Amino acid sequence: EQLYQIQGWGDPYFSINRAGHITVSPQGDRGTSLDLYQLVEALRKRNIGLPVLIRFPEILADRVERLYACFDRAISRYNYPGTYRGVFPIKCNQHRHLVESLVEFGQRHQLGLEVGSKPELMIALASLNPSQFNQKKEEKSLLICNGYKDQEYIETAILSRRLGYETIIVVEQLEELALIQSVSAELNIKPVIGVRAKLSTRGTGRWGSSTGDRAKFGLTIWQILEVVKILESSQKLDCLQLLHFHVGSQVSSISVIKEAIREAAQIYVELSHLGANLNYLDVGGGLAVDYDGSKTNKNNASKNYNMQNYANDIVAEIKEACEQAEIPAPTIISESGRAIASHQGVLIFDVLGSSEQPIIPPPVVEEEEHLIIRNLWETYALINEENYQEAYHDAIQFKQEAISLFNFSYLSLKARARAEQLYWACCNKIFEIIKNQENVTEELQELAKVLTSIYYINLSVFQSSPDHWAIDQLFPIMPIHRLNENPSQRAILADLTCDSDGKISQFINPKGKLPKNFLELHPLENNQPYYIGMFMVGAYQEIMGNLHNLFGDTNVVHIRTHPQGYKIEQFVRGDTISEVLEQTQYSGEALLENLRRHTEQALEKDLISLAESRHLLKNYERSLSHYTYLKKED
C-alpha cells in the first residue's frame, strides 16, 4: 500500500483487498465495493477490450455532495448570511454521459454549469434543466458564460434567460460590453453581467499565469472601472451583479487562495461602494486534488489543504470584508472542475511485453583471456559496499577500453560480448547495493535508470494522459492485481506510439518528494494478463487527448453499483480504425477499393497468389471496423 501511496490519494474510493486487488467504493465509505480486477475481467468477457476508461458516476455524485457539505459547514460555522452555489466548468470534461450524470446528481443543489465557448454553451443550454415559471432567482439553474464571445454567443446567452436560466455573461474583454449592450437592447432583455478581474495575486504552479497583469483573460482594475462608468452612463449599472476571478488550476498552496480571495473581496466591496448592484462573488476554479497523496505543496501533484479548509477560508474572508464594509454578503459561486471530476475516471490498460537488461550470471573467465576481460572480472568479483563507486568507474573505463580495442581489431566480437556481459554484471551488482539507499550520487542514479525495465503498454499517452506528456503532470499509476506479491521490477512505461515522448517515466513519490523515475511492477507471467490502472484521470485528459499515430478514443464504460453488485450503465465504444481514418479525410471504402486495384495489378503480374490477395483484402476490411489498440489473444 505504501509503495503506491494508495491510502493518500485513493481514500475513500480506492483501497486494496485481501486478494491483492484494488477495490473501488464509488460511494466512499458507504455502499457496495467492487473488485476492480474482477470488473475488468468481466468487461473483457463482454468483449469490451483494453484500454478502457471506467467512469464511476457515483464518485462524481459523492464529490458534489462533499463540496456542498464543506460550504454548508463553513457557512454555519462563520454564520455567513449568504449562500453557496456551485457550477461545473464543462471544459473539464464535456462528455455527454458525464454531464448528464452531473446534472442529475446536482439537481438537488441546483448545481449549475460554467461554459467557456459557444459549443460549450450549446451543451449547457440543452442539458441543464430550465427552472419552472416564476421560480425565485436563487432557485434557477445557474449558467456562467466565460470565454471569448461573438454576437451569436451573446444573443444565445441573453435569450436563454427567457427559458428560466440565471444566465450571467462574464466580461473578459472590454469590447464585449458594447456588444452585450447592443444585443440586449435589440432583444429587449436585460442581461446580468459579470466582470472577470485580473488579480495581482499570482497563482503558483503550472497554471499560475491565469492571473496577474500579463494574464490572458480578464480585466485590469482600470478596465473594470471603465465598465462601471459605461454602465452607469447608460443607467445599466444594476446589470453588473457578479465579480469573478480564477487563479489557475490545481493551486497547491492555501496561502495563494487566501490572498486571492482577500484581494477579490476588497474589489467586490469597492465596486459595491461605487454603486454596482453586486450579489455574486465567483471564486473560479483552482481547488486542487491530491495526486500523490502527500498532502504537501512541494510539487504540483498535491496540496497543503483540504476541501473544508478551502471552503472555510473563502467564506471567512468574504464575510469579514463585507461585514467591515457593511454591505450584504454575496452568494458565493465556485467553478471547481478538477476536484469534482478527477476521481471518477480510471483508465485500465494491459502490458504487452517488457524488456529488461538481462541479469546474466557473469561468464567464467579463463586465465588465457584478454587482459581487459580479466580486469573486468576482477572488478566484478571485488565489488563491495565500500568500493562500489570506484568499481563503477573502473567498470566503465574497462568497457570503453574494450570497445576501443575492438575498433582497432585487437579484440574479437565474442570477446567484446564477454566484456559487455561482465560490465552489466558489475552494474547489477552495484545496483543491488545502492537500490535502497537514499542519497546516491547523480551518476549512480543514472545507473539505476539504465537498469530499469521497459514495460510496453497498450495505450497512447498522447490520447489518454496528455497532461503527462505536455506538462509532466503526475497521475497515480499502479497494478490493479497481484498486490500480495513483491513487485520486484523497476520499470518505466512505453506506449504504442512511435514517438520517444510516448512514455511514462515519472511517477508519484511518497511524502511529496521529487517524482520517482521508475514504477515497481511485477515480472510478467507467461500468457497471463497484467493490468495497470491510471487513476484520477477524469478531468481534462479525455478532451485534450490527440490522435498521434491514429490511436483513437478508448472504450468507456459507466459503472453504477447496487446492493448486489453493479451494472454497466453505458458503454461508449472507442474509435474504430475507419473512424480515425475519417478524421484525416480518408474513406475506408475508398482505401479498400484502392487496395483491391493494387492486388489486381499484382495478380496480373503474378506477384501474389489469389489466396494471398484474398487474405490481405479480408484482413484490411476487417481491420477497418476494429479498435485502434492492440488486441492480445487470450
Q: Please say which residue, 95 or 338, places its beta carbon nearer to ligand PLP.
A: 338
What whole-number distance in Å separates Cα of residue 454 and Cα of residue 364? 29
Q: Please report the DSSP string for 392-441 in residue order.
A: HHHHHHHHHHHHHHHHTTSS-HHHHHHHHHHHHHHHHHHHHHHTT-S---
Kindly state whether residue 285 participates in binding ligand PLP, applying the rule CB under 6 A: yes
* Residues from 386 through 445 that contact ligand PLP (CB under 6 A): none
Shortest spacing between CB 510 and ligand PLP, in angstroms = 24
Kindly state whether residue 89 participates in binding ligand PLP, applying the rule CB under 6 A: yes
Q: Is the distance from CB of 288 to CB of 343 less than 8 angstroms? A: no
What whole-number distance in Å separates Cα of residue 385 and Cα of residue 387? 6
Kindly state whether residue 113 participates in binding ligand PLP, applying the rule CB under 6 A: no
Kindly state whether residue 282 participates in binding ligand PLP, applying the rule CB under 6 A: no
290 has binding-site annotation: yes
Q: Is the distance from CB of 157 to CB of 121 less than 8 angstroms? A: yes
Kindly state whether residue 336 participates in binding ligand PLP, applying the rule CB under 6 A: yes
CA quadruple 461, 467, 473, 477: dihedral positive or negative? negative
One residue of 286, 293, 362, 466 binding ligand PLP per CB under 6 A: 286
Shortest spacing between CB 60 and ligand PLP, in angstroms = 14
Q: Helix crossing, 610-624 with 588-604: angle to 10°?
A: 170
Terminal alpha carbon distance of the chain: 29
Q: What are phi and psi of 553, to 5 degrees?
A: -60, 145
What whole-number distance in Å separates Cα of residue 374 and Cα of residue 194? 79
Judged by CB under 6 A, which stretch of 179-187, 246-254, 314-322, 602-610 contacts ligand PLP? 246-254
What whole-number distance in Å separates Cα of residue 57 and Cα of residue 270? 42
Residue nearest to ligand PLP (CB): 285
Judged by CB under 6 A, which stretch of 179-187, 331-339, 467-475, 527-535 contacts ligand PLP? 331-339
Neighbouring C-beta atoms of residue 324, cutoff 10 Å: 11
Number of helical H runs and strand E runs in the chain: 21, 21
CA distances from 481 to 21, 35, 528 (A): 4, 10, 12
Number of residues near ligand PLP (by CB under 6 A): 17
Judged by CB under 6 A, which stretch of 26-34, 47-55, 333-341, 591-599 contacts ligand PLP? 333-341
In terms of Cβ atoms closer than 10 Å to its own Cβ (0-12, 13-18, 19+), residue 230 is: middle
Kindly state whether residue 538 participates in binding ligand PLP, applying the rule CB under 6 A: no
Active site residue 498: yes
Q: Please say which residue, 62 or 335, places its beta carbon nearer to ligand PLP.
A: 335
Q: Is the distance from CB of 103 to CB of 112 less than 8 angstroms? A: no
What whole-number distance in Å separates Cα of residue 314 and Cα of residue 57? 28
Binding mask 292-311 for ligand PLP (x = CB under 6 A): --------------------
286 has binding-site annotation: yes
Neighbouring C-beta atoms of residue 98, cutoff 10 Å: 24
Q: Please say which residue, 319 or 338, places its beta carbon nearer to ligand PLP.
A: 338
Shortest spacing between CB 73 and ligand PLP, in angstroms = 20
Shortest spacing between CB 320 and ligand PLP, in angstroms = 24
264 has binding-site annotation: no
Judged by CB under 6 A, which stretch of 335-343, 368-376, 530-538, 616-624 contacts ligand PLP? 335-343
Q: Please say which residue, 227 or 478, places its beta carbon nearer to ligand PLP.
A: 227
Q: Is the distance from CB of 419 to CB of 372 less than 8 angstroms? A: yes
Kindly state whether residue 252 participates in binding ligand PLP, applying the rule CB under 6 A: no
Residue 205 CB partners (closer than 8 Å, separation 6+): 248, 250, 251, 252, 300
Kindly state whether residue 337 participates in binding ligand PLP, applying the rule CB under 6 A: yes
Alpha carbon 136 to its chain centroid, in Å, reads 38
Q: Please say which residue, 285 or 512, places its beta carbon nearer to ligand PLP.
A: 285
Residue of 239, 322, 426, 498 with catalytic role: 498
One residue of 338, 399, 416, 558 binding ligand PLP per CB under 6 A: 338
Judged by CB under 6 A, which stretch of 36-44, 244-252, 369-377, 517-525 contacts ligand PLP? 244-252
Residue 246 CB partners (closer than 8 Å, separation 6+): 196, 210, 211, 217, 218, 284, 285, 286, 335
Q: Please say which residue, 282 or 394, places its beta carbon nearer to ligand PLP.
A: 282
Kindly state whether residue 66 participates in binding ligand PLP, applying the rule CB under 6 A: no
* Residues from 139 through 198 that contact ligand PLP (CB under 6 A): 146
Kindly state whether residue 284 participates in binding ligand PLP, applying the rule CB under 6 A: yes
Kindly state whether residue 477 participates in binding ligand PLP, applying the rule CB under 6 A: no
Kindly state whether residue 249 participates in binding ligand PLP, applying the rule CB under 6 A: yes
Kindly state whether residue 561 participates in binding ligand PLP, applying the rule CB under 6 A: no
C-alpha cell at 381: 568479483
Kindly state whether residue 92 participates in binding ligand PLP, applying the rule CB under 6 A: yes
147 has binding-site annotation: no
Q: Please say which residue, 90 or 457, places its beta carbon nearer to ligand PLP.
A: 90
Q: Please report the DSSP string for 444-481 in residue order.
A: HHHHHHHT-EEEEESS-HHHH-HHHHHH-----EEESS
Shortest spacing between CB 572 and ligand PLP, in angstroms = 23
Q: Please say which residue, 286 or 293, places its beta carbon nearer to ligand PLP.
A: 286
Which amino acid does the sequence have at 589?
E
284 has binding-site annotation: yes
- H or E segment and range at residue 72: helix 57-77
Shortest spacing between CB 85 and ligand PLP, in angstroms = 14
Q: Please say which residue, 110 or 210, places its beta carbon nearer to ligand PLP.
A: 210
Q: Which residues participate in the annotated binding site?
A: 281-291
The footprint of ligand PLP (CB under 6 A) covers 89, 92, 114, 146, 246, 249-250, 284-287, 335-339, 539
Catalytic residues: 498
Q: Which residues participate in the annotated binding site for substrate?
A: 281-291
